[in-house]
Amino acid sequence: MNHLKVVFAPGVVPGKWLGRFDERVNGWLAAAAQSDDPLAHVLAGRADLAILRLPGGWKGMDGHRIDEEAMRRLGLHRVVLYEEQAGVAAPKDHALEAVGENEMVRPEDLEDEMVLYSGVDPAMVRENLEVVAANVGVVVAPRPLLRSVNRRGVVHRSLVTGPGAHGTPDVSDAPDTPAASRIALVWKKSEDNEVIQQFVGICRGRRASSSR
């Protein structure tokens, strides 16, 4: 049995895609693992595909802003799958807890808050959530990431997002509207093949009976 190695970022839930791949592609199974830095595994040849978070205007991981120039330089393909909802995390019993799960926090609501971190680096989000849990400040990050790495004593809610990568995500300086982060598939052009293309098609919603 052959294995397609897929590494995904915290907050991504690829189970349905992995299951469909296993069902549809004869002789292959998806072998998946989570990592704070999925791209590093692809670049090092340890994984065939990365499902990662594009920072857009957010503060990302140094050296891993996957813009068009970086794509060409590193010899990568990129397919954007969807945009994420931004979120804000605060200490339990903060006024934020009164906001309903289906309601949105507006950036201006954070005007008087100490924003400890605004970005997409999982390690930084975890580190700063420890401080939030001690009843200090708030953290702004994609809500799926907050949900994935959340800890006891912290609540999180959805935050109004701006116009994609053209928004201003760093609310530590001003109550601007954060950009929406995006989840994308990334793989090496030199390693592109039919099996990878089948997985890409599954992630993009291609049915089993359709052709490329």
Could you tell me the residue range of the domain that residue 139 belongs to? Answer: 86-166
pLDDT for the residue numbered 180: 76
The domain that holds 41 is classified in CATH as 3.40.190.10
Residue pair 129/149 in contact (Cβ under 8 Å)? The answer is yes
CB neighbours of 53 closer than 8 A, spacing ≥ 6?
9, 11, 12, 60, 84, 120, 142, 145, 181, 182, 183, 184
Least confident piece of the model among 14-28, 67-81, 156-170: 156-170
Q: Are residues 56 and 76 in the same domain?
A: yes
The DSSP secondary structure of 76-122, one letter per residue, reads EEEEEEEEPPEEEEEETTSGGGGS-TTS-B-GGGGTTS-EEEEB--H
pLDDT for the residue numbered 212: 44
Q: Are residues 96 and 77 in the same domain?
A: no
Measured between alpha carbons, how far is 198 from 208 in angstroms, rounded to an integer?
A: 9
Buried b (16+ CB within 10 A) or exposed e, 1-32: eeebbbbbbbbbebeebbebbeeebeebebeb
Strand-pairing partners, residue 52, are 184
Asked if residue 211 belongs to a domain, the reply is: no
pLDDT for the residue numbered 63: 39
Asked if residue 210 belongs to a domain, the reply is: no
Asked if residue 197 belongs to a domain, the reply is: yes
The pLDDT of residue 134 is above 50: yes
Q: Are residues 77 and 28 in the same domain?
A: yes
Measured between alpha carbons, how far is 99 from 113 in angstroms, rounded to an integer?
A: 16
The pLDDT of residue 79 is above 70: yes
The pLDDT tens digits for 95-115 are 888 898 888 999 888 889 999
Asked if residue 171 belongs to a domain, the reply is: no
The pLDDT of residue 88 is above 70: yes
Q: Are residues 137 and 100 in the same domain?
A: yes
Work out how many domains the chain is built from and give that number: 2
pLDDT for the residue numbered 172: 41
pLDDT for the residue numbered 166: 35
The pLDDT of residue 67 is above 80: no
The domain that holds 119 is classified in CATH as 3.40.190
Q: Are residues 54 and 75 in the same domain?
A: yes
Q: Are residues 108 and 147 in the same domain?
A: yes
Q: Are residues 29 and 58 in the same domain?
A: yes
